[in-house]
Amino acid sequence: SGKYVMVMGVVRSCSPEPVLRAIKVTDLSENPVHKNMWSLEVEDLHRIIP
């Protein structure tokens, strides 16, 4: 499974993989609204990334 988190920070680079300098990480896993959105966001990501 995993954790559903929100990361606030600065993008350091984008190639070949994104590198972030995180300032704040918030666990949203237990919030029922966010829990329902998680699968939809993963599905959306799979449509964007070939």
Distance of CA 31 to the CA centre of its chain: 15
Q: Are 32 and 8 in contact (CB under 8 A)?
A: no
1 has a pLDDT exceeding 70: no
What does pTM read for this prediction?
A: 0.57
- The tens digit of pLDDT for each residue in 25-45 reads 999 888 888 888 888 888 898
- Each domain of the chain, given as residue ranges in start order, spans 5-48
Q: Are 30 and 47 in contact (CB under 8 A)?
A: no
pLDDT of residue 34: 84
